Structure 1
Amino acid sequence: MNELPKDKTIELSTDYQNQRININFSDDLTDDRERGYILSAAFFSYCAAQGLSKDEVSDMVSSYYDEFLDSNA
């Protein structure tokens, strides 16, 4: 029988003073692809739970992605 992998954690917190969102990963979550998969799955799950359509999510990403990149440069 295959064992399940150990659970890993991601903690998000706000920093309004510096206009940032802080992301802390558990020590065993070091693979960037796995981090990205977990974060994107959480984002899409949240959007679906809020009742957003694929078009609304696509529009949101299209509208704000460049702005996000510019603010983190």
Structure 2
Amino acid sequence: MNAILIHQIIWRRIIGNLLFTLPFSVLIQWFTGLIQRTGITALPLGIRIIIESSVFCVSHLRRQSISVLT
């Protein structure tokens, strides 16, 4: 899309985007399979929201404690 907008084909950018996109999509597919195997997707929406927000809070607190230590 960028190549169309800037009217240039920059092969380095295209190859770089592909090198990022392919491993990223594999990683997302792996996490999706992991989440589906845990059974979280079968839970009611309210419980899934609570789980998601608690995971976000824990990761946010962990990130803050790491930045304080450095």
Taking structure 1 as the reference length, the TM-score comes to 0.39
Q: Which has the higher contact order (CA 8 A, sep 6+)?
A: 1
As a proportion of its length, which structure holds more strand? 1
Bigger-Rg structure (1/2)? 2
User: Which has the larger helix fraction?
Assistant: 2
The normalised TM-score by structure 2 is 0.40
